């Protein structure tokens, strides 16, 4: 009689980080969609950032219905980005893969499974998965897919644009460990997802962008902190914001965050950041020549032209 040994590889653990602030109107639907994931080995870490509505009760009920799969923390009450950064810093040693969830979206059942399948092909090197979204307008049930991203995902892109939308991100264990270490050296950031995109591209990590059909309904409503922003009015508001210096402030915060973790960056990334920072403060003609030498770009041509317009006006 021959004994045959079978090796068993359990489904990888996924820690889902969710920042919450007065999300009662939509929270239950998002939690339900997480509970219906085809990849069932998940643990939800929530950080309630001082909610005054029924969010806490909804979370408690969900935790009771999923014993051992939910951790609820109190947030720092200093904005959505600080809330997510506090969750990154608090990751447990057995976090495994790390995903991010907003409080008001709907996940398709294979969202985690698809991301895991793509990251599994990358080996142990730090890697970040992100993807397209379906902008969802519940009142009319209209959906609009976010655009495909086809240009390389490099620091020269990340310095002026974020393509890694937080609610689509999945970090492999190496990237999660890197993010946690870097977060302990980082103070304020404009947005945790843009910071993660910068971190991956500046440290030699891999960024995978899934251009296939979206696996998330990104709910659009009046309380979105950062929404899709389609249409003439949002475009005009963005341009006005650039002229008022908002884009430049975001860039400065990002560069400060990168300087705080300079020891994590590759030599090439440190030099690129140094040159980009110097170019921003150069006189107009010298600024444009210096930026041309760095060659930052966005994923789409019209957006890149918009950057150069802002650069010519000294609004970066």
Per-residue pLDDT reduced to its tens digit, 96-132: 999 999 999 999 999 999 999 999 999 899 999 999 9
Best CA proximity match to 90, nearest among 103, 112, 73, 102: 73
Residue ranges of the alpha helices (H) in 42-162?
Answer: 55-65, 80-89, 111-119, 155-158
Distance of CA 292 to the CA centre of its chain: 28
Q: In angstroms, what CA-CA distances link 193 with 102, 117, 232, 261, 301?
A: 12, 21, 26, 16, 23
Q: Which residues of 244-263 are buried (b: 16+ CB within 10 A; e: fewer)?
A: eeebeebbebbbebbeebee
Sheet holding 97-101, edge to edge: 70-74, 42-48, 14-20, 97-101, 170-171, 127-131, 206-210
Per-residue pLDDT reduced to its tens digit, 202-212: 999 999 999 99
Sheet holding 106-107, edge to edge: 106-107, 216-219, 134-137, 142-145
- Domain tally for the chain? 2
Q: Are residues 153 and 250 in the same domain?
A: no
pLDDT at 241 (0 to 100): 82
When pLDDT is averaged across residues 40-48 and rounded to a whole number, the result is 98
**7 found inside a domain:** no
Per-residue pLDDT reduced to its tens digit, 218-246: 999 766 556 555 566 666 676 778 878 99
**287 found inside a domain:** yes
Q: Are residues 213 and 240 in the same domain?
A: no
Residue 76 near residue 82 (C-beta atoms within 8 A): yes
Q: What is the pTM of this model?
A: 0.92
Q: Are residues 166 and 287 in the same domain?
A: no
Average pLDDT over all residues of the chain: 93
Q: Are residues 182 and 308 in the same domain?
A: no
Question: DSSP string spanning 93-111?
Answer: TT--EEEEE-SS-EE-TTH
* Final residue of a structural domain among 159, 190, 219: 219
**47 found inside a domain:** yes
Q: Are residues 215 and 238 in the same domain?
A: no
* Final residue of a structural domain among 189, 219, 249: 219
3-state helix, strand, coil in the chain (%, to 5): 45, 15, 40
Domain residue limits at 155: 14-219
pLDDT at 244 (0 to 100): 86
């Amino acid at each position: 009689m021959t004994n045959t040994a079978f090796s068993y590889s359990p489904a990888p653990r996924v820690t889902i980080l969710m920042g919450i602030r007065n999300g009662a109107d939509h929270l239950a639907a998002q939690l339900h969609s997480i509970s219906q994931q085809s990849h069932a080995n998940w643990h939800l870490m929530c950080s309630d950032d001082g909610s005054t509505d029924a969010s806490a009760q909804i979370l408690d009920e969900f935790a009771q219905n999923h014993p051992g799969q939910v951790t609820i923390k109190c947030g720092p009450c200093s904005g959505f980005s600080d809330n997510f950064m506090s969750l990154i810093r608090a990751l447990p040693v057995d976090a495994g893969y790390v995903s991010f969830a907003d409080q008001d979206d709907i996940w398709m059942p294979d969202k985690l499974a698809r991301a895991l399948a793509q990251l599994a092909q990358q080996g142990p090197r730090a890697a970040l998965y992100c993807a397209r979204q379906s902008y969802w307008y519940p009142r009319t049930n209209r959906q609009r897919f976010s655009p495909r991203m086809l240009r390389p995902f490099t620091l020269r892109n990340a310095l002026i644009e974020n393509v890694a939308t937080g609610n689509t991100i999945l970090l492999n264990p190496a990237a999660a460990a890197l993010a946690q270490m870097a977060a302990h050296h980082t103070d304020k950031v404009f947005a945790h997802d843009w910071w993660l995109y910068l971190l991956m591209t500046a440290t030699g990590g891999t960024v995978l962008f899934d251009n296939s059909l979206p696996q998330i309904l990104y709910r659009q409503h009046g309380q979105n902190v950062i929404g899709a922003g389609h249409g003439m009015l949002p475009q005009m508001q963005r341009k006005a914001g650039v002229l008022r210096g908002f884009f430049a402030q975001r860039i400065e915060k990002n560069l400060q965050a990168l300087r705080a973790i300079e020891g994590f960056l590759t030599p090439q990334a440190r030099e690129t950041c140094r040159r980009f920072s110097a170019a921003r403060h150069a006189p107009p003609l010298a600024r444009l020549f210096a930026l041309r030498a760095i060659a930052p770009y966005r994923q789409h041509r019209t957006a890149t032209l918009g950057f150069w317009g802002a650069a010519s006006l000294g609004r970066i």
